[in-house]
A and B are shown apart, each in its own frame.
Chain A
Amino acid sequence: METFEPNILAYCCKYCAYAAADLAGSMRMNYPGNIKIIQVPCTGRVDVLHLLKALEDGADGVYVAGCLEGECHFISGNLKVKKRVLQVKKILSQIGIEPERVEMFNLSSAMGPRFAEIAVEMTERIRKLGPSVVGLYQRRQAAVN
């Protein structure tokens, strides 16, 4: 059986996480291509809906990567989204979806290697969990239609 390649979305803030991803590139780090980044001005922009919608539309995992705590460019956006991530985890466990599919990470723009590490970590984690039931359902529906 071929390995399951998960589809993972990452909301990255412009100032830290996105810059760290850029640095990971400049440093020619290597990580699997399962991660697709959506840049946001600040992780504080990311709402519960964005996380749920990603899963609903077939993503197998989704995470938010913001500045280190206390270092948010907009003061406290990363702390606000942290709560939302916890909330989504709770919702997921209530409806029988693994809460580990959603995660919050903090890193500075100088942490290119950490960005790559996170990408690997999340890919591995979701691979182990297997495809999300929502995604499976979506794909089955698509096949039927």
Chain B
Amino acid sequence: MSKQTTGAVLIAGGGIGGIQAALDLANSGYYVYMIEKNASIGGVMSQLDKTFPTNDCSMCIMSPKLVEVGRHINIRLITLAEIKEVRGELGNFEVDVFRKARYVDMDKCIACGACTEKCPKKVVDAYNQGLVKRKAVYVQYPQAVPLKYVIDAEHCIKLTKGKCGNCEKTCPAGAINYDDQDQNVTLKVGAVILAPGFSPYNPAGKLIYSYDNNPDVVTSLEYERLLSASGPNQGHLVRPSDHAEPKRIAWLQCVGSRDTNTCDNAHCSSVCCMYAIKQAIITKEHDPGVDCTIFYMDMRTHGKGFENCYNEAREKYGIRFVRCKVHSVFPMAGGEKGQVLDYMDEHTGKWTRTTFDIVVLSVGMEIGPQVRELAQKLGVGLTDSGFCRTAAFDPVSTSRPGIYVCGAFQGPKDIPQTVVEAGAAAMRAGIALAGGRHTLTRAMSPPPERNIYGERPRIGVFVCHCGINISGVIDVPAVRDYAAGLPFVEYAADNMYSCSQDTQDNITKLIHEKNLNRIVVAACTPRTHDPLFQETLLNAGLNKYLFEMVNIRNHGSWVHKEYPQAATEKAKDLVRMAVAKVAQFQALEEARLEIDQNALVIGGGLSGMAAALALADQGYPVQLLEREAHLGGQANRLYKIAGGESVQDGLDSMRIAVANHPNIRTLLNAQLTHVDGFVGNFDSTVAHDGGTETIRHGVAVIATGARESRPTEYGYGGDARIVTALELDERMRQPDPALQQVNTAVFIQCVGSREPQRPYCSRICCTHSVSAALHLKELNPAMNVFVLYRDIRTYGEREKLYKTAREKGVIFIRFGLDDKPRVQVKDGRLEVEVRDHVLQRPVFLEADLLTLAAAVVPYKDEQLARFFKVPMNADGFFAEAHVKLAPSNFATDGVFLCGLAHYPKPMDESIAQAQAAASGATRLLSQKTIRTSGTVAYSSPMDCSSCGVCTAVCPYNAPFMRTDGPFKGKADINPVLCKGCGACVASCRSGALCLKGFEESQLMAMIECA
């Protein structure tokens, strides 16, 4: 390497993809600049009510990540900003960034909202999809990060006309600055990650949906806000035009997707089927009486848990699914409310007319003109549909070296796939900049901690006015004086703004002066401000756990405005409770743990090799285990990737890279026989080549794959002309000249998938059959090719293949689960009978080649699951830590997941997930030692009755029974694995377990003086 690389990365976009990439990089030794065009981060995910298929609350799962980004010492957040230009090359870029003026001083703003209250100017609220108005000075949403107000310069009366100035007059913190200026800054980074996200398709101006002039026809994103508890109606579902409770709601799928007629979006947006199902289910949960109907072309529920969700929607919730593209929507004639839908009913073959109260347009994803322009300026290639062009074997690299991509800009996708790609992009950037790791990051260096053991509690209480936010309702001096008289309180004071920097300095000074050893701050919420005050304690030489926050704003002045007296009394009560608790606090230690720098990758298929290479390229030694005698797994049997790239060429170069890599040791014919230990220090015993050896490793990646099932129907095994998809690929690969001679080729889809005994969709078979059909047509354009399917699921830009196949004359015939094709061999002729969905009558196909799209099935390796204490789902695929936001992690720390072992997926997605798993592993490895939280459970072995309930209760395997020493057989807690939930503590029959920071004595002290 000739030149030193810059150990910083610029991430363009603060949605969930950008957030994940930023956290991966900042936690593994790189400095991150996050550029966000809006006033706060969060992107589209922050606007969602729930997320499919588990219906988790979107904000709940996201906001801890928002807060982490906002407070990260190695992430610099630049909001209201966009990239202007990128100069230089991989390792050393200079990025010009344009930052719009905020007109609010972020250091001074305390997010009290007084400005908004007094602002006279109302503006359409984009966060709520224009369904309501906001003020010209505003915060995007209550949980926004950074939680700082912003003035909308376009609409502010002061900035446009020079009048008003209300906000400046009202702001108690003097944060308003009308003279703020736009800025240009130049940042030096080694790599860039593009995570700009998508634009929802705008149906305005398309007369067929009557969206323009009809408030009861809404887009799916508008409907999402209508459902949301934080939305315009507080989650109370009403018809927008008259606020009546709706009785009938329709969803129209593929609006702005799979449509080259009314727009130019040939691609499938991948997520709309699932979000429509989600919205319909949530609607039913709001009111089971609402009739929900989804009009669709193909139901694309191809992800993990999606098909189950679809089945539940039909069977449990009674949601109706009607297959058709609705022709038009128009309002009822003559003042009556309601939307009229005209559509062709497939079963009757007749025009049908129905009315609905609300019509939801399931709008697709597209890439807006600004992002396309940016791509052009940066020299990043795009696909025909405007998404970023990438290659299957390097799925997150753009055409310009050093610029990576993740999320919907790479192609339409859902949240988990975005999170996977974010990890992959972080990994690729991390590999490229490995030489610059830890060169630009900063670390905290607090003074040594004062030992307070044995000291009498000397508590300092600080009560915050929060401008007038608290003191406008609560009598702050009275609370202060009350606090001063409480037991062990040495000092009590009130502050105008407890969070300001000068207050922090003052608290630090007072801790020294008054020799305080415990601190209580009565102010806003610990969820945002705990870390700030804990840092102050650290800087004053106090253990950061000697601190308690009392929430007298969000839980006090803001909600008891009408009862100031009661609010003051309550504030006193809460302070008394906190003082009683904090008096019992002890300094807590954060366990330190060395992370062994070796990685173990289990499975030498495509995913395993990709994960091994990603880790090895950063300098970590990798042991790669493969049960077979050769690397490559299922990919060895594949012919071409959907885009046309050769699988074997790509696979060969990976195999060579693995074989020649100095950091990778490959163990073939290897079998894991035993695993001991936990994150940072696993000891795995491997049997291979007749011997066994024990490998010490800090992290493990499970990439054990899956296989093609052996069909038990359609005459498979009885006739050489009937083959599985992989068998067809092998013949194409040879290549088998007989394929050219085929007159009629038939594909049957969903063989063993989406059946009652195996309910999931195998995700890859539709694309595979369509690609294979196209290849057969190439070999012999005269060949008759039929694809018998249930729903074609060529999601994302794969839709183009489906379209091409139809154009080339491949005939698609749909069948239902209750009327499957029949295959028989009569007089040596292979005959397939299927009922045609258009003709509504059986057709007979005489085939020379019948390909069965057999299901992808997991190995259900229960032993491996036990070894690493990781769960499997009902289908036998490994269960990730979180379906949405941790798709490549396990709940067990230090163990990661990728590839088919997680769920069926195409090769590009497998490689991305392998890189994401490696990125997760790198977060641990790069830190060399990790610190655990101080608030963990611990055991008093003297009291333990050895019942073992704790080991059964804990979802994280933290409790264990000691196997030697004087307390053999007694429970102990591994602080490294403990997440501090306290479930074991509450379940302990003998009071042997305690949770630090939430000790029995502390809770009881609070209860006693409540």
Q: Which A residues lie at the B interface, using CB under 8 A?
A: 5, 7, 9, 14-16, 18-19, 21-34, 36-42, 44-47, 50, 53-54, 57, 59, 67-68, 70-71, 73-77, 80-81, 84, 108-114, 116
Contacts and interface: CB of A to CB of B under 8 A. Distances in A.
B1007 A22 contact: no
- For B559, B573, B979, B1003, the residue with the greatest tally of chain A CB atoms inside 10 Å of its CB is B559
Interface stretch (B381-389, B562-570, B644-652, B835-843): B562-570
A19 B982 contact: no
B563 A77 contact: no
A18 B530 CA distance: 14
A32 B560 contact: yes
A30 B560 contact: yes
B559 A109 contact: no
The 4 residue pairs across chains A and B that have the minimum distance between CB atoms: A25-B554, A45-B982, A108-B57, A74-B981
Contact of A36 (B63, B574, B986): B574
A29 B57 CA distance: 20
Contact of A40 (B525, B567, B955, B998): B998
A76 B980 CA distance: 14
A40 B142 contact: no
Interface stretch (B227-235, B245-253, B590-598, B916-924): B227-235
Contacts of B551: 21-22, 25, 37
Contacts of A73: 981
B49 interface: yes
Given A80-B983, A109-B60, A54 B228 contact: no
Contact of B527 (A19, A29, A47): A19
B526 interface: yes
B986 A29 contact: no
9 contacts: A30-B560, A30-B562, A33-B556, A33-B566, A36-B570, A38-B1007, A74-B955, A74-B981, A110-B58
A109 B573 contact: no
A74 B981 CA distance: 7
Contact of A71 (B60, B64, B553, B556): B60
B986 A44 contact: yes
A38 B1003 contact: yes
A26 to B, nearest CB: 4
Contact of B230 (A5, A23, A46, A68): A23
Contacts of B1007: 9, 38, 50, 53-54, 57, 59
Given A38-B577, A108-B229, A113-B229, A16 B60 contact: yes
Contacts of B569: 33
A110 B554 contact: no
Contacts of A22: 525, 527, 551, 554-555
Nearest to A74: B981
B558 interface: yes
Contacts of B955: 74-76
B374 interface: no
Nearest to A55: B1007
B823 to A, nearest CB: 42
A19 B63 contact: yes
A45 B998 contact: yes
A110 B59 contact: yes
Contact of A24 (B559, B980, B985, B1004): B559
B573 A47 contact: no
B1008 interface: yes
A55 B896 CA distance: 46
Given A80-B983, A109-B63, A110-B49, A41 B554 contact: no
Contacts of B554: 21-22, 24-26
B559 A110 contact: no
Contacts of A59: 1007, 1010
Interface in B978-1010: 979-983, 985-987, 995, 998, 1003-1004, 1006-1008, 1010
Interface string B493-528: 000000000000000000000000000000001110
Interface string B568-597: 011001100100000000000000000000
B265 interface: no
B981 A42 contact: yes
Interface string B517-550: 0000000011100000000000000000000000
Given A19-B60, A25-B558, A109-B63, 15 more contacts: A22-B525, A23-B142, A23-B230, A25-B551, A30-B562, A32-B563, A33-B566, A34-B566, A40-B1003, A42-B982, A47-B985, A68-B57, A71-B56, A80-B953, A111-B229
B206 to A, nearest CB: 32
A18 B554 CA distance: 10
B1010 A7 contact: yes
A74 B46 CA distance: 22
Given A24-B559, A30-B559, A38-B577, A109 B987 contact: no
Given A109-B63, A110-B230, A112-B230, A41 B982 contact: yes
B905 to A, nearest CB: 25
Contacts of A31: 559-560
- For A7, A45, A47, the residue with the greatest tally of chain B CB atoms inside 10 Å of its CB is A45
B986 A45 contact: yes
Contacts of A57: 1007-1008, 1010
B561 interface: yes
Contacts of A28: 558-559, 561
B54 interface: yes
B636 interface: no
Given A26-B142, A29-B559, A44 B63 contact: no
Contacts of B235: 111, 113
A80 B981 CA distance: 12
Contacts of B979: 74
Nearest to B558: A25
B6 interface: no
A122 B502 CA distance: 41
Given A22-B554, A110-B228, A74 B983 contact: yes
B740 interface: no
Nearest to A21: B555
Contacts of B570: 33, 36
B65 to A, nearest CB: 13
B143 interface: yes
B935 interface: yes
A25 B555 contact: yes
Contacts of B559: 24-25, 28-31, 33, 116
A44 B983 contact: yes
Nearest to B469: A25
Contacts of B985: 45, 47
A26 B558 contact: yes
Contacts of A70: 54
A33 B60 CA distance: 25
Nearest to A72: B981
Contacts of B56: 71
A37 B889 CA distance: 34
Given A25-B559, A26-B554, A36-B570, A9 B229 contact: no
A67 B60 CA distance: 10
Contacts of B525: 22, 25
Contacts of B49: 110
B784 to A, nearest CB: 49
Interface in B47-82: 49, 54, 56-60, 63-64
Nearest to A40: B998
A53 B1006 CA distance: 11
Given A38-B577, A109-B59, A33 B560 contact: yes
A40 B574 CA distance: 15
Interface string B955-990: 100000000000000000000000111110111000
B935 A14 contact: no
A70 to B, nearest CB: 7
A80 B60 contact: no
A74 B49 CA distance: 21
Nearest to B142: A26
B1004 A53 contact: yes
A34 B566 CA distance: 8
